[in-house]
Structure formats: structure tokens, C-alpha cells
Structure 1
Amino acid sequence: MTDIFGVVADATRRELLQVLLERYLAPESATGDISVGELVEKLGLSQPTVSKHLKVLRDSGLVAVREVGQHRYYRLEPGPLDVVEEWLVPFLSVDSLGGGLEQGEASGAFAAWSGVQMPASLRRAGESLQHPSDAGAAVGRAMADATHGTRHRFEEASEAVERKVFDPIRKKLKKD
């Protein structure tokens, strides 16, 4: 399978994924499918360019294709993006372990990678444990809190984008 990070690194493919996501989430779209022609029209790109990028997305498992005669309809398959989400979570939850970072500190994943110090709150928590088994419980609680916080922030951000970006666009499109 293609490296998912390389696939989403391309701006044109991210634009395609955004349009596919909008269709996937649209309440009026029963299947979430969109034709190549519609993608060409929405993005203002040539058909060969759109088709080339859709092939990369298809090969990576990010889209599924349905053929009807000579027409192809594409649908988002978000599963492969789980890898990206899992990689991003530690970076997005940097301040979830104790009210923020002190200068020069970073999340556990980044600290391990870069050699930067761990957050003081996490370091103090580790030093205060009396039994090694407590560490697993503490890590589990921290992970659950971080995951919950991250999901909550994603939901809030998604709602804000919906209200501030997509709703005005939909209203404008309905007027036209």
C-alpha cells in the first residue's frame, strides 16, 4: 500500500479529499458518490489531472470507484486516514496532561523523538508512583483523557468550519 502521508501531502489530492468528504457527509447524498465530471467542475481542474490524482487515491484505498457505463463515481473511504489520525493525536494533545507546557517542553511522542524534556507535570506524576503497576493505570487514564480531549477539539473545530465556511457556501449556492 502507498504511504498515506505521501498521498495526502499533495495539495490537489487534499482538495479532492475535501470535496469527497463534503459529498460523503452531505445529508442529501445517499451514497456519497460524485462523478469525475462534477469533481472537474468543482475544482476547476482538467479531467486528466483529476483522474491522475483519483488513481493515486484509489491505489491508497482512500476512495472507492463505481462504474456505470462510461461514467465513474468516486466515494471517500476514510479508513486509511486512521494512520494519520493516530500519528497526529500526540501532537494535538500536547497540553492535555497538566494544563500546558513549560517553555522548551513537548509531548511524550515528540520528546522521545527529539530529545526534548518531558512536561514537568508528566515527569512529576512518574516520580510519584509507588508501584510500577500504577504506571499502566496512569498512562491509560492520560491516554483516555488525551483521546477524549482530542476528539472533542476535532468535533468543535468541525462544527466551527461547518458554521463559518460550509453553511455560507451552501446558502450562496442555493441563491444561485
Structure 2
Amino acid sequence: MADIFDVIADGTRREILQLLLRRSSDGHEGTSVSEIVAEIGVSQPTISKHLKVLREAGLVSVREVGQHRFYSLSPAPLEVVDDWLVPFFVDEAELAEEVAAQLPGTLPEPAARMAESVGRAAASAKNVVQSALRRLGA
């Protein structure tokens, strides 16, 4: 499998992922290749090649209905990217110290791992909200 960073490095593949994200949030259960071609404005063979790379990376799933293929976003592999990016936006050591200062005593190891996970998720959500607000000009 290709490195996830190599897969999303291509602008056309990012456009496809963004399109699938928009359409899934609009309630679509899949997007056909012809719809992707029409929206992005790139040839069908080019879109098909990019969809193959995205499928092999696990970023999209495909549902076949007759001779038609409908693609949907499968964002789980992007968690690697998210985990890599979060430290650039949040000082994890500072976050861990803040959490530890508020707790009486030391956490058992499973609870400490869970707290770290929750902290990362919160930092990621904060970053998503801040990015969205910047795009909206707020």
C-alpha cells in the first residue's frame, strides 16, 4: 500500500476526496465516476486512475450496480495524517500537564492512554473548527 502522504499529495485526489466528503454530508450514498468527472473537469481515464489509487489506500469504497460504480469516502486512513498534524497545533506535553494537574494522583496506564486519545481528539476537533471559521472569514 502506498504511503498515505503520497496518496493525498496529488491535488486531483484531494479534490476527489473533498467532493466525496461534500456529497456524503449532503446525504448521497455514493458518487458515480461520471459525476466526479463532471464536477472536477478531468478526463474519465484520469479520474479512474486516481480512484484506483484512493481505493488501494483504503480512502474510498466502491459499490457496483450493474456496470456503474459508486464511490464513497472512507476517511479512517486519514487518522495517520491527523495524528501527524496534531502536534503542530497543540503542545501535547502542555496538554498532558494540564490534565495531570487537575487529577488527584497518577492515572492507571489504560486511563492515561485514554486521556491522551481524548486530548488528541479534542485538539483535532478544535483545529477543524478553527479552519472552518477561517474559511468562512469569521
> TM-score, normalising length from structure 1?
0.60
Which of 152, 155, 158 in structure 1 is aligned with 2:129?
155
Deviation readout 1:83-105 (Å, 9 max, x if unpaired): 1101111012149938xxxxxxx
Alignment check: 8 A CA contact 1:64 1:76 kept: yes
State the SS of the aligned residue for 1:37.
helix
Deviates more, 1:8-17 or 1:152-161: 152-161
How many aligned residue pairs are there? 127
Q: Structure 1 segments of 4 or more deviating over 2 A?
A: 94-98, 136-150, 155-161
Taking only aligned residues, the RMSD between alpha carbons, in angstroms, comes to 3.0
Which of 56, 59, 63 in structure 1 is aligned with 2:56?
59
Letter in 1 for 2:126: H
State the SS of the aligned residue for 2:77.
helix
Deviates more, 1:66-75 or 1:142-151: 142-151
Alignment check: 8 A CA contact 1:97 1:142 kept: no
Letter in 2 for 1:54: L
Residue ranges of structure 2 left out of the alignment (5+ in a row):
99-105
Which of 82, 87, 91 in structure 2 is aligned with 1:85?
82
- Larger Rg: 1 or 2? 1
Name the structure, 1 or 2, with higher relative contact order (CA <8 Å, separation 6+). Answer: 2
Supply the distance in 2 between the matched residues of 1:50 and 1:89 (Cα, whole angstroms).
31
Residue ranges of structure 1 left out of the alignment (5+ in a row):
99-121, 126-132, 165-176
Instruction: Name the residue aligned to 1:109.
Output: none
Alignment check: 8 A CA contact 2:89 2:127 kept: no
> TM-score, normalising length from structure 2?
0.75
